Structures are given as C-alpha cells and as structure tokens.
Amino acid sequence: MQKAIYIIALGIFILFWLQLCPGPVQARQSIHVVPVEGMVEPGMAAFVKRSLDQIPDDPETVILFKLNTFGGRVDSALEIVDALSGVSKGKTISYVEKKAISAGALIALAGHVLVMKEHTLIGDCAPMFQTGEGQKEAGEKTQTVLRAQFRALAKKNHYPEILAESMVSKNMEVYEVTLDGKTRFMDQTEWKDLDDESKKKAEKKTIVAKGELLTMDDTEARNLGFSRGSVPDLDQALKFLGYEDYTLIITKESWSESLVRMVQPFLSILMLVGIGALYTEIKAPGFGLPGIIGIVCLGLVFFNQYLVGLADYTELLLLLTGCLLLGIEVFVLPGFGVAGISGLMVIAAGLVLAFQDFVIPSPDMPWQSGLLLKNLGLVLGSFMGAFLISLFTVRFLLPRFSTLVKGPYLSATLEDSHADSREAQKAVPGDTGRALTPLRPSGKMKLDKNNYKIDAITRGEFILAGTRLVVEAVERNRVFVRRKDE
C-alpha cells in the first residue's frame, strides 16, 4: 500500500514538472520582402534576380513581392517572371501595395498567392511601342506571346485563364456564364460554339467588353478569382494568410543597383555628351578635358549596362577598340579619316549591343525587333546630336574659353597697323620734284630739296617721265603726287 502511494506521488510530481517546464521554443517564420517599385527596367530585373539568388530555395522559405509599379519594358518583366518561376520549393506572395499595371500585372500573377491592399489596381497589360506619332499598340505577334505567358501563369497558379488573357488584347470579349448551376468564364468564340438550347438556359454577364482591357480593383480581383483578399496593410495581409509570428527581412538595393536606377533615365544624355566630347577632342589639338569627359560618360553608360547584365566583355572589347582607333586618329594620323570613322562605327556597334541582351532579334520574341530599332535610333541620334554640339563647341565655345583663364594674353590687334617706309618719311606735302620714270599710276620721282629718289603714285593719272611733280599727300607708306602747274 505504501509502495503504491509512493508511485502515485511520483506520478503527480512528474506531471507538475512537465507543466512547469517550458516546451521547445518554436522558431519565428522569416519572411523575405522584395520591393518591386517604380519603372520595370533592366535595373529592377537585376535587383530582383540578385535578391532571389541570395534567398535559400527550400520548403520553409516565404518571399513576398511588394508591388507598386505602372509597368515598363516587356523584356525586363519577362526576366523577373522567369526568376520568380525559378522558386520551386519556397512560397512566393504577390502583395499589391498601390498598383500593378501593365508589366506589373504580369509580375503579380507570377507569384503563388496574390493579395491586394484596399483601393489598389491590377491589369491593363497591352504592349505598346513608341513611334513618331506617339505610342501605339503592338501587333498580334507580340500580343500572342504575352497572352501565352499570362495563360501559363494563370494555369500554374489557378487564376481564370481567359480573364488573364483579356488583360493583353482589346479584341477579346469575356462573359460570365452560369449554366446548370455552374459558373465559368467564356470568350466570344466559346459562347458562339454553344448550342441554342444551352444559350437559352444560360445566364450571361459581360465582364470584359470588346475594345477594353481587363483592369480590376482589389474587390473585383477577389470576386473574379485572382486575389485571395483585400487587406488594409501588410501585417493584415500576412495575418490573413496565416502568419502570426514572423520576422520581416527586407531586401534593399546595393549602392551599385541604386546607381543603375539613378543613371538609367540619363543614359541617352550621357551618351550624347560622351560622343560629342570625343569628337571635339579629335578636332582639337592634343588630348585634354573633352577627351576625359567623353571617356567618363561612355564609361558610365557601359558600366551601367554591365551591372544590369546587358553588356559583357564583347561590348567592352568593341568600345576599347573604338577608343584605340580614335587614339590613332588623334596622335598618329593627321586630320579625320578612316581610323576616326572606323572608331566611331565600332563604338556605335558596342553601344547598341550594350542596350540589349541579344545580337540578332529572335522570331519568337517579336518585341526584340522594335527594341533593336529603338536602340539604333538612340545611338545614331546621339551621334548626330553630338556632331552638331561638337561643331558648335569648336566654332564658338573653345575660342571664348581662353578668356575665362587668367593671361597674360595679346589683346591688341594689327587691324590699324602699318609699316612706314623710310622713303615716304623723307617727303612732305608741298615738296616738288621730277618724274624719273613714267607713273602708270606708280613710278619713281626725284625730290628737288634733297635729290632723294622715292616711290610715288598718282590718283589714277598717267604721267610721262621728266614731268614736274608736286607731293599732294603722304598716307602711311605711300606718297601721292600730281602734275605741277607751271
């Protein structure tokens, strides 16, 4: 009996000890936040790819993309989508903080889960390109590729495929059709394929009218099956998705990525100034400030494109070869000839390739042809503008630049200078003499007062030798005479 009491007491003690002792501490969930803000361009694509490379891809990884963008370049958006699609084990969340328009909508649909903040927008991904008459919608070839991309992302993440496609093309018309108690989305082709009996039973509601692009606010996106929910802020979004205890790890841009984003809008200006400075250096003697400015500006352009992954050693080799040819033109060969023109052409080719990640446009990516034409226009336009600027600099600015530097300088001119001859100094108006040679109208005369022979000239009159003369005037180094009246 006593033994049983000891066993019961021991059991009670163990139970109390288990209650008082803390259990194993559960680690907080780490959530990596990658901001996708501003213009979608190569700098953003490089930042997103670098961020994903640093985050481990394992089943416990959670990556949240905070979206606030009006869109941008198609090629950069597709690079970001490819990077997001490469996250195979972890979970990706697209959180629309303000807007995800155009290319931003494509990036938003690449995440496994979409959550939108209240009063935000998503959609309208019609591909546009710049022309002389303004922006125009891209052709069917480009739209087909983008529709296929939207369809693939929608299928992968369980979004309505037809509605996703309607963000790209205006010629689509999408209906919400309820038939036999089931609701689904149809385009105009599927609706036409229904038999008449089904059309009579079905309830049809137009979601996207022809000539419009699907653009949704947070409520519409939730009702149409895109967004999981509408939330007031990021904390509520994570709580809505089931994350109660977590730590946010916000990825920030490095100094080089910040430099790339800052310099990107001014690349055309840097290229214009760089080329103009190099051409000015060629036209000016020696090597000085214009050459240094040109090398620095073109170096910034190349360095920027290298950091975003568009430029590589091939482009660097072309730029160095072009600069070498220009150096030969400046220091070895006189004037501006084959070496100078070849150098500029090689530099132009290097700059065009530095603005794109391909050499020859691929038929599978129709926008590459437009991008190549845009880059050619940018580089050639910069060359023409640089040529005009350099001509203006050499003609007007460089001659005036010397006045900004302290002298001494020769400020007097020789406009009113003259060299008086010694013969002219021996004659004064009124002196008389005799013509030694015929004056037609110039010739030689001999002065009476000192028998000096001097050069004389009439005012257009021809006078024979031996004629008496009188000095009419002495102007600079010329002695004007006339026939003396006897």
Could you report the per-residue pLDDT of 404-438, keeping only the tens digit for each?
555 555 555 555 544 455 555 678 888 899 999 99
User: Do 106 and 149 touch, CB atoms closer than 8 A?
Assistant: yes
Would you state the pLDDT for residue 402? 55
| Choice between 372 and 1, residue whose per-residue pLDDT is larger | 372
Examine domains 29-166+213-252 and 422-483 and report if their fold is the same: no
Model confidence at 31, pLDDT cuts 50, 70, 90, reads: very high
What are phi and psi for residue 63, nearest 5 degrees? -120, 125
Question: What are the start-end ranges of the H helices in 21-91?
Answer: 42-54, 74-85
Polymer length of the chain: 486
Q: Supply angle C-alpha 34, 142, 260, rounded to 5.
A: 35
Rama region for 242: left / alpha / beta (φ>0; ψ in -120 to 50; rest): left
pLDDT band at 21 (very low <50, low <70, confident <90, very high): very low
pLDDT at 480 over 60: yes
pLDDT-based confidence at 118, cuts 50/70/90?
very high
- 107 or 292: whose pLDDT is higher? 107
CB-hemisphere CA count at 13 Å for 279? 24
Residues 45-62 have a mean pLDDT of 88
> Does 281 score more than 90 pLDDT?
no
**Has residue 101 got a pLDDT over 70?**
yes
Tell me the Ramachandran region of residue 306: left when phi exceeds 0, alpha when psi lies from -120 to 50, beta otherwise. Answer: alpha
Mean pLDDT for the stretch of residues 229-244: 92
Mean of pLDDT values over 138-153: 84
Q: Does the pLDDT of residue 24 top 50, yes or no?
A: no
Least confident segment among 346-360, 408-422, 452-466: 408-422
Strands 174-179 and 182-187: antiparallel
Binned at pLDDT 50, 70 and 90, residue 62 comes out as very high
Spatial distance between the Cα atoms of 268 and 56, rounded to a whole number of angstroms: 38
Token pair recorded at residue 356:
């794109």
Strongest mean pLDDT among 233-237, 290-294, 319-323? 233-237
Q: Residues with Cβ < 8 Å from 275, sequence gap 6 or more? A: 294, 298, 344, 347, 382, 383, 386
Q: What percent of the chain has pLDDT over 70?
A: 82
Tokens read off for 388: 């005009």
Q: What pLDDT was estimated at residue 155?
A: 92
Q: Where are the alpha helices (DSSP H) in 207-266?
A: 218-223, 234-240, 255-263
- pLDDT of 456 over the 50 cut: yes
* Chosen CATH of 422-483 out of 3.40.630.30, 3.40.190.10, 2.40.50.140, 2.60.420.10: 2.40.50.140
The reported pLDDT for the residue numbered 25 is: 40
The most confident of the ranges 44-48, 133-137, 287-291, 342-346 is: 44-48
Give the pLDDT score at 400. 63
> What is the rounded CA–CA span in Å between residue 361 and residue 276?
29
In this structure, the number of other CB atoms found within 10 A of the CB of residue 221 comes to 28
User: How many C-beta atoms lie closer than 10 Å to residue 247's C-beta?
Assistant: 10
In whole angstroms, give the CA distance from residue 442 to residue 437. 9
Report the C-alpha gap between 457 and 155 in whole angstroms: 105
* Interatomic CA distance for residues 335 and 355, integer angstroms: 31
Question: Which position has the higher pLDDT, 335 or 47?
Answer: 47
pLDDT tens digits for range 169-223: 888 899 999 988 888 899 888 888 888 888 888 888 989 998 889 999 999 999 9
pLDDT tier at 9, thresholds 50, 70, 90: low
User: CATH fold of 29-166+213-252, please?
Assistant: 2-enoyl-CoA Hydratase; Chain A, domain 1 (3.90.226)
Stronger pLDDT, 184 or 254, i.e. the higher one: 184
Q: Average pLDDT, whole number, for the chain?
A: 81
Instruction: Tell me the average pLDDT across 248-261.
Output: 82
Categorize the per-residue pLDDT at 322 as very low, low, confident or very high, splitting at 50, 70 and 90.
confident
Does 95 have pLDDT greater than 90?
yes
pLDDT of residue 23: 45
Mean of pLDDT values over 267-284: 77
Predicted pLDDT of residue 283: 66
Give the residue extent of every domain in the chain.
Answer: 29-166+213-252, 173-209, 258-402, 422-483
pLDDT of residue 389 exceeding 60, the answer is: yes
Higher-pLDDT residue of 357, 183: 183
Report strand pairing: 91-101 vs 121-123: parallel
Predicted local distance difference test score (pLDDT) of residue 223: 92
For residues 344 and 326, the answer to whether their CB atoms sit within 8 Å is yes
For residue 408, is the peptide bond before it cis, meaning its omega torsion is within 30 degrees of 0?
Answer: yes
- Global pTM value: 0.66
How is residue 1 written in tokens?
Answer: 């009996």
